[in-house]
């Protein structure tokens, strides 16, 4: 596969390490009242879509960016590639 | 007798005569021949024995789809079994042998199998070797293994090199027949970067096999002229002898170039084959079509071949398989074969056409509405039996029969993305799927357009259309006038009532097997394929699948498209494993990482052990030491008594900088790091988010905004990855930067009561190493040896007074030599990973065996380290009740009640009196060693509620080895439990 890195342009997927569902960005608040249940969902519950899937790819043999790649699991077509840092910020993760 | 079946003309170079041998007998051929064409020229029709029944077999095709003529090519280490004689280029000195026989090819003792064919039907193994069960391993399997497979391998190392390469292009054109050449000409002249790949050694595809003429030149001449023009264009890369094996995602293709297979051996420095990864913006499949046979009784004799192949042999290689031939056809194409061979002076026995309205010939007999129903000839065809429309039969004498059943488009690459081929009724064949690889276009016969004119036009049009869509301006290419015969054929798959009529000749699957599968209720084509093994041979059923599907359709009363077809997977043709391995074999299989003291350690007689990619000194054998334990015990004792030095460079080092560095580490480690003072080091335990221990190490604070984190050797990469994830995905606004410095700094542990005194000799005098100035867990930037920058950490894995000294890697060799020199007066020893392991077990320190991916901080005895006052990765889920049960495993020490007994790792612990089974296991041993300081074996173990069972006697059992003796539960801190030594 070719992943169109937002900073580096098209790169072979062999340079990347697949890191799973991009939902891993949505780490719950440890002080929420239902924190334990939320962390169990966060840790163990995954959708297994037949189609578009947002997933993390780590450019380990490159610039070490984590990317959020939106990819069709059946055709491998890639619809969008974003820097995970930008996605994390947009989803409220900060510090 | 030489080349008795050689005809006039052809594209061979008669000035170059090449000697070769087959089964030890010498023959001659010409440059341009394949092994198959040269054997046919010499009157050799019998080339092999079939897989199951050991039937005599000859050549069926003239290309890579060949199921039968598989030989062992070359000798010695270069011997390659199952090589298709139809694609093996002839070279002087070639040697080949037939396969799958006992005795000679003509009198194969295994041919007895043919007499038992009633038993060797589909599912034979499943049905026969069911019982008695005890027979399987000792009797059945050896027999089957011996009988399985065709050729044999040399069992020697492959002496040749294989390479992998990468290519980029605008347009990849797969196949250089009329469609591919027209496309390449169009795209090449439009200045696009073009790769034109073809598996053959002469480009042109069927233009080289047909007699047809373009106005004033032959098709073959037009092909040669076009290739010459393409070769002159700098933007076109022509790759002959290159098979495109697979279509992968986003325009990536793999291709195998046979660089040296046509030579006796590769030229010096050249690889045998290159596996290319081709990145293309667009691609065009012009792979042509494969002819299919018609099934009739005994249709597998040497001399019976596809009619198109017979025409290839006659026109391209100037060879006929026999002096008198017949043709069996269901379409006009078969008549071409007869006409072409007749024109070359070969006698035509008859053309048997199943169509009552078959075209007539002035030159030879055409039997309209006839069928070939049987054949004779033990080792080669002697005659065929023909049934006439009225039912009468005739015997026709002939040495070869061309069979023309129609053409199947070579759609293989189009279904590599799981697209299912779709039925094309006009040619009664499966064509490309509508949902093929996104950037792959198709032209010519591969698309089902079987005439040369359509191929030329289709190739040019597809290329022009792609060029237009991708910003190139393509001028129309002038194409030659070609015949444009409409396809006229009547689907006809198998002669009625035939049984031992071969569909898949390589796997010996007959019409009878398909009938049996149907009778046994197999409905799906996928099941049919696996049960009968139809199409599962190395040719992937290129010539056989359609016949099987058609029979299945007839039996089930369905139309062929309703029955459906199986799909194809890469590789398109069988590929040597060596080509996939490339240079990654033997010691080059993966990189070797050497520590910066490696050369020095070799000088010291170190024995090395692989730790991941690293080679680490395991122990340093001294003269006179004959057993590793002698070396290890000596190293441990000398370290604990005076001082020892160990290279610990392999531990991961991560430099963490930024104003939020402390905040970041506080989230990464389960214990607190926010308030760690500058100049201090702290042990840290990292949890996975699920609460399981991930890794441990130390973090040293060298400045307000600068930490150095160490990881275990094994987890250096994964911890760095984990920290990058946390930094970018979880806390993107923290001001923190990471870099791996594992290879930038060499690090030596200096351990033992004399460690300080040794170091004082190399550390520059302005740095005070006294216990007051530089206590346990201190860290500092220092200089050594008169100004060399270094880092010093007072940390201890051994439990002794110990330091770790880091210097830039390029000074590492000098540093170890200086340290050893400074240590001479203390009789300092180097120690390896074994002694390191013994000392950490004696001290009760956890390592990879204890952080084994199933254990928590609680198990490790560090439950209270997990801070509840802050958020850290894993802190929430480590509170799950399942991980906090009252009888949770706890890390303890064990020693044997009888000091002579070992305490081996992996053994399980049972309470006395309990049965020995998994349900009663009280825990298990993780690490074990002989303790030279205690004089007996010791171990670390996880035991249920272990921390409250000190002094209890348990049974240590290993049901696998029959091991069973008593051990006592003790503290894991075998040495210096109060930690006085490391604070000294």
Question: Per-residue pLDDT tens for B218-249?
Answer: 999 999 999 999 999 999 999 999 999 999 99
CA distance B823 to B626: 25
Chain A residues in contact with B250 (beta carbon < 8 A): 1-2, 76, 78
B570 domain residue, yes or no: no
Residues B243 and B363 in one domain: no
Give B844-860 pLDDT, tens digit per residue.
999 999 999 999 999 99
Instruction: Say yes or no to pLDDT of B212 above 90.
Output: no
Instruction: State the residue range of the domain holding B343.
Output: 293-405
B887 domain residue, yes or no: yes
**Measured torsion, CA atoms of residues B833, B837, B840, B844, in degrees rounded to the nearest 10:** 160
B562 domain residue, yes or no: no
Instruction: Say yes or no to pLDDT of B631 above 70.
Output: yes
B533 domain residue, yes or no: no
Write down the pLDDT at residue B108: 76
SS (H, E, C) B714-757: CCHHHHHHHHHHHHHHHCCCCCCEEEECCCCEEEEEEECCCHHH
Write down the pLDDT at residue B773: 97
Chain A residues in contact with B728 (beta carbon < 8 A): 65-66, 83-85, 88
Tokens standing for residue B347? 């006698």
B546 domain residue, yes or no: no
| Chain B contact probe: residue of A43, A50, A71, A76 with most B CBs at under 10 A | A43
Cβ distance A2 to B252 less than 8 Å, yes or no, reads yes
CA distance B551 to B496: 10
Cβ distance A66 to B728 less than 8 Å, yes or no, reads yes
Q: Which residues of chain B from 259 to 288 reach within 8 Å of chain A, CB to CB? A: 279
Q: What is the ipTM of this complex?
A: 0.99
Chain A residues in contact with B420 (beta carbon < 8 A): none
Residues B273 and B299 in one domain: no
Min Cα separation A6/chain B (Å): 15
Residues B316 and B386 in one domain: yes
Q: Of B353, B383, B405, which residue is a domain's last? A: B405
Give B31-50 pLDDT, tens digit per residue.
999 999 999 999 999 999 88
Residues B641 and B754 in one domain: yes
In this structure, are residues A33 and A58 in contact, taking their beta carbons and an 8 Å threshold? no
CATH number (domain holding residue B825): 3.30.1360.120
User: At B796, is the pLDDT very low, low, confident or very high (cuts 50, 70, 90)?
Assistant: very high
Closest in B248, B730, B875 to A88, CB measured: B730
Closest in A1, A40, A89 to B732, CB measured: A89
Nearest to B681 by CA among B701, B706, B709, B658: B701
User: At B279, is the pLDDT very low, low, confident or very high (cuts 50, 70, 90)?
Assistant: very high
Residues B262 and B303 in one domain: no
Min Cα separation A48/chain B (Å): 20
Give B303-358 pLDDT, tens digit per residue.
999 999 999 999 999 999 999 999 999 999 999 999 999 999 999 999 999 999 99
B487 domain residue, yes or no: no
β-partners of residue B213 are: B218
Is residue B357 less than 8 Å (CB to CB) from chain A? Answer: no
Which chain A residue is nearest to residue B166, measuring alpha carbons? A12
Residue with tokens 């801190």: B973
Cβ distance B728 to A88 less than 8 Å, yes or no, reads yes
Residues B372 and B418 in one domain: no
Q: Which residues of chain A from 25 to 44 reach within 8 Å of chain B, CB to CB? A: 25, 27-28, 30-31, 35-36, 39-40, 42-43
Q: Give the E-state strand segments of B381-527 in sequence order.
A: 383-387, 393-397, 400-404, 407-409, 422-424, 429-431, 440-442, 502-504, 509-510
Instruction: Say yes or no to pLDDT of B118 above 80.
Output: no
Residues B731 and B612 in one domain: no
Residues B16 and B96 in one domain: yes
Write down the pLDDT at residue B53: 87
Helices (H), B254-331: 307-315
Residues B607 and B751 in one domain: yes
Instruction: Say yes or no to pLDDT of B214 above 90.
Output: no
Min Cα separation B729/chain A (Å): 5
Contacts of A33 (CB under 8 A, 6+ apart): none
Q: Of B469, B489, B515, which residue is a domain's last? A: B469
> Which strands make up the sheet holding B737-740, listed edge to edge?
B681-687, B693-703, B706-711, B652-657, B737-740
Min Cα separation A85/chain B (Å): 5
| Chain A contact probe: residue of B252, B417, B729 with most A CBs at under 10 A | B729
Residues B263 and B183 in one domain: yes
CATH number (domain holding residue B351): 3.50.50.60
Cβ distance B725 to A56 less than 8 Å, yes or no, reads yes
B712 domain residue, yes or no: yes
Residues B241 and B324 in one domain: no
Q: Of B352, B384, B405, which residue is a domain's last? A: B405
B872 domain residue, yes or no: no
Is residue A67 less than 8 Å (CB to CB) from chain B? Answer: no
Give B728-759 pLDDT, tens digit per residue.
999 999 999 999 999 999 999 999 999 999 99
Write down the pLDDT at residue B630: 97
β-partners of residue B329 are: B353, B404
* Domains assigned to chain A: 2-27+45-90 (3.30.2270.10)
Residues B372 and B400 in one domain: yes
Angle (nearest 5°) at CA B598 between B593 and B603: 150
The count of residues in chain A is 95
The count of structural domains within chain B is 6
CA distance B580 to B197: 19
Q: Which residues of chain B from 806 to 825 reach within 8 Å of chain A, CB to CB? A: none
Write down the pLDDT at residue B112: 73
β-partners of residue B747 are: B806
CATH number (domain holding residue B918): 2.40.30.110
């Amino acid at each position: 596969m070719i992943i169109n890195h937002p900073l580096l342009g098209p790169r072979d997927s062999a340079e990347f390490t697949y890191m799973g569902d991009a939902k891993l960005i949505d780490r719950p608040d440890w002080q929420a009242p239902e924190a334990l249940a939320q962390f169990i969902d966060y840790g163990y519950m995954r959708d297994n879509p037949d189609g578009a899937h947002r997933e993390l790819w780590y450019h380990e043999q490159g610039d070490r960016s984590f990317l959020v790649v939106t990819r069709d699991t059946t055709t491998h077509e890639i619809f969008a590639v974003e820097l995970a840092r930008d996605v994390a910020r947009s989803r409220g993760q900060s510090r | 007798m030489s080349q008795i079946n050689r005809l006039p003309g052809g594209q061979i170079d008669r000035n170059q005569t090449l000697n070769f041998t087959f089964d030890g007998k010498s023959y001659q051929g010409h440059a341009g021949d394949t092994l198959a064409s040269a054997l046919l020229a010499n009157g050799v029709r019998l080339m092999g024995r079939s897989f199951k029944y050991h039937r005599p077999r000859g050549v069926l095709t003239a290309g890579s789809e060949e199921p039968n003529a598989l030989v062992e090519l070359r000798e010695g280490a270069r011997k390659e079994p199952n090589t298709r004689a139809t694609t093996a280029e002839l070279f002087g000195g070639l040697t080949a042998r037939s396969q799958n026989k006992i005795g000679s090819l003509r009198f194969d003792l295994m041919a007895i199998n043919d007499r038992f064919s009633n038993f060797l039907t589909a599912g034979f193994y499943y049905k026969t070797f069911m019982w008695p069960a005890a027979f399987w391993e000792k009797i059945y399997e050896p027999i089957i293994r011996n009988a399985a497979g065709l050729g044999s391998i040399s069992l020697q190392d492959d002496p040749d090199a294989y390479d992998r390469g990468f290519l980029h292009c605008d347009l990849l054109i797969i196949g250089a027949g009329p469609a591919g050449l027209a496309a390449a000409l169009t795209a090449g002249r439009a200045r696009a970067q073009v790769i034109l790949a073809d598996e053959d050694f002469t480009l042109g595809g069927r233009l080289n096999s047909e007699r047809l003429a373009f106005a004033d030149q032959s098709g073959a001449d037009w092909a040669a002229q076009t290739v010459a023009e393409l070769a002159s264009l700098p933007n076109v890369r022509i790759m002959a002898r290159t098979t495109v094996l697979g279509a992968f995602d986003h325009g990536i293709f793999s291709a195998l170039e046979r660089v040296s297979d046509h030579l006796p051996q590769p030229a010096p420095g050249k690889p045998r084959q290159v596996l290319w990864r081709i990145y293309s913006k667009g691609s065009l499949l012009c792979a042509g079509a494969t002819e299919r046979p018609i099934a009739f009784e005994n249709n597998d004799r040497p001399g019976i071949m596809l009619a198109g192949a017979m025409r290839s042999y006659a026109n391209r290689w100037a060879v006929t398989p026999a002096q008198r031939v017949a043709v069996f056809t269901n379409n006009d194409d078969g008549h071409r074969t007869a006409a072409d061979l007749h024109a070359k002076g070969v006698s035509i026995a008859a053309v048997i056409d199943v169509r009552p309205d078959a075209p007539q010939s002035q030159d030879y007999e055409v039997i309209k509405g006839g069928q070939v129903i049987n054949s004779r000839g033990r080792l080669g065809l002697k005659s065929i039996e023909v049934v006439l429309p009225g039912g009468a039969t005739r015997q026709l004498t002939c040495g070869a029969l061309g069979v023309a059943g129609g053409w199947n488009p070579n759609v293989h690459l189009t279904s590599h993305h799981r697209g299912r081929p779709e039925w094309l009724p006009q040619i009664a064949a499966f064509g490309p799927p509508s949902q093929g690889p996104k950037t792959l276009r198709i032209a010519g016969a591969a698309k089902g357009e079987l005439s040369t004119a359509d191929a030329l036009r289709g190739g040019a049009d597809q290329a022009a259309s792609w060029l237009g869509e991708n910003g190139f301006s393509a001028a129309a290419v002038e194409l030659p006038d070609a015949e444009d015969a409409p396809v006229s054929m009547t689907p006809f798959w198998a002669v009625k009532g035939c049984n031992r009529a071969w569909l898949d000749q390589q796997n010996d699957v007959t019409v009878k097997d398909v009938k049996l599968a149907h009778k046994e209720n197999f409905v799906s084509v996928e099941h049919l394929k696996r049960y009968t093994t139809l199409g599962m041979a190395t040719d992937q059923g290129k010539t056989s699948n359609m016949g099987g599907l058609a029979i299945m359709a007839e039996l089930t009363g369905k139309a062929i498209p309703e029955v459906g077809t199986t799909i194809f997977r890469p590789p398109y043709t069988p590929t040597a494993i060596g080509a996939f391995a490339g240079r990654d074999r033997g010691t080059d299989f993966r990189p070797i990482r050497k520590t910066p003291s490696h050369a020095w350690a070799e000088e010291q007689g170190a024995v090395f052990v692989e730790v991941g990619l690293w080679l680490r000194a395991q122990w340093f054998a001294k003269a006179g030491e004959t057993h590793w334990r002698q070396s290890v015990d000596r190293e441990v004792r000398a370290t604990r008594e005076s001082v020892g030095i160990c290279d610990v460079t392999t531990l991961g080092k991560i430099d963490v900088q930024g104003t939020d560095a402390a905040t970041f580490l506080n989230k990464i480690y389960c214990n607190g790091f926010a308030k760690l003072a500058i100049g201090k080091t702290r042990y840290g335990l990292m949890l996975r988010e699920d609460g399981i221990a991930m890794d441990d190490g130390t973090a040293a604070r060298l400045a307000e905004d600068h930490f150095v984190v160490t990881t275990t050797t094994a987890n250096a990469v994964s911890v760095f990855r984990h920290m990058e994830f946390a930094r970018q995905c979880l806390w993107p606004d923290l001001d923190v930067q990471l870099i791996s410095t594992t290879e930038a700094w060499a690090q030596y542990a200096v351990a033992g009561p004399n460690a300080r005194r040794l170091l004082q000799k190399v550390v520059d005098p302005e740095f005070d190493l006294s216990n007051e100035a530089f206590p346990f867990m201190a860290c500092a930037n220092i200089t050594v040896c008169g100004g060399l920058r270094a880092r010093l950490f007072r940390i201890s894995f051994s439990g002794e007074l110990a330091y770790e000294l880091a210097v830039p890697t390029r000074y590492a060799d000098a540093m170890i030599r200086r340290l050893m020199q400074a240590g001479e007066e203390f009789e300092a020893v180097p120690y390896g990973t074994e002694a390191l392991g013994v000392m950490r077990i004696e001290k009760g320190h956890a390592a990879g065996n204890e952080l084994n991916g199933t254990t928590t901080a609680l198990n490790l005895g560090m439950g209270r380290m997990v801070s509840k006052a802050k958020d850290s990765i894993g802190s929430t889920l480590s509170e799950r009740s399942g991980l906090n049960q009252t009888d949770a495993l706890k890390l303890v020490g064990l020693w044997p009640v009888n000091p002579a007994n070992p305490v081996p790792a992996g053994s399980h612990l049972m309470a006395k009196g309990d049965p020995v089974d998994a349900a009663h296991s009280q825990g298990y041993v993780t690490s074990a060693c002989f303790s030279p300081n205690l004089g007996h074996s010791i171990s670390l173990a996880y035991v249920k509620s272990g921390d409250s069972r000190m002094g209890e006697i348990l049974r240590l059992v290993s049901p696998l080895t029959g091991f069973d003796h008593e051990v006592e539960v003790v503290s894991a801190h075998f040495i210096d439990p109060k930690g006085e030594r490391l604070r000294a």
